[in-house]
Amino acid sequence: MRSSKLILAGLTLAALLFTVVGDAFAADIKANKKRGQVYFRMVCTACHVDMSGTTIPPAGRTMAEWRTYLDADKHDVSGKSNPSVRYYLSQAYRDSIKDQNKAAKKFLSVPGEQLYADVYQFAVTGAKDSDTPATCN
């Protein structure tokens, strides 16, 4: 019982550190909204349409909801896909789809955290309560 509590505490701390470090790291990165937009629309939207037939427009959530979602880094809890959002922004993922996806190929060399910051900015600034709500097309 005690050990499981320790593990849980450790995991929580690790998650917290990851979030803090991730945010701090992301804060140092100058996001490129345009690149985030292209990646979001050409990779995220394309995959969601293929997999579920639905889109995930930035304007479908509020700014706070996008921040919570992206900060939590929980892509999917169903087990049908990778649970991490970051995975889908990683170079490894882009490498795996580069032959089928122009955007993945074009941005292959962009560091994962940079692309994360790019998509983060596009999603948040395109949220439904933002000044520039964005669609996914």
Q: Which stretch binds other proteins (CB under 8 A): 16-24, 67-75, 87-95, 98-106?
A: 98-106
Q: Which stretch binds other proteins (CB under 8 A): 19-27, 66-74, 86-94, 129-137?
A: 129-137
- Minimum CB distance to other proteins, residue 129 (Å): 4
By rule CB under 8 A, what count of residues binds other proteins? 16
Tell whether residue 112 is a contact of other proteins (CB under 8 A). Answer: no
- Minimum CB distance to other proteins, residue 48 (Å): 16
**Amino acid type, 135:** T
* Contact by Cβ (8 Å): 88, 82: yes
**Which residue, 34 or 74, is less far from other proteins as judged by CB?**
34
Q: Among residues 47, 65, 67, 133, which is the contact residue for other proteins, using CB under 8 A? A: 133
**Which residue, 48 or 75, is less far from other proteins as judged by CB?**
48
| Residue 32, token pair as written in the block | 């490129």
Closest CA to 45 of 122, 109, 108, 114: 122
Q: Give the single-character DSSP code of 126.
A: T
* Contact by Cβ (8 Å): 55, 45: yes
Q: Among residues 26, 42, 49, 56, which is the contact residue for other proteins, using CB under 8 A? A: 42
Q: Tell me the C-alpha distance between 49 and 60, whole Å.
A: 15
DSSP string for residues in 61-121 = S-HHHHHHHHHHT---SSSSS-S-HHHHHSHHHHHHHTTT-HHHHHTTTS-HHHHHHHHHH
The binding site for other proteins (CB under 8 A) comprises 32, 34-35, 38, 42, 59, 62, 102-103, 106, 128-131, 133, 137
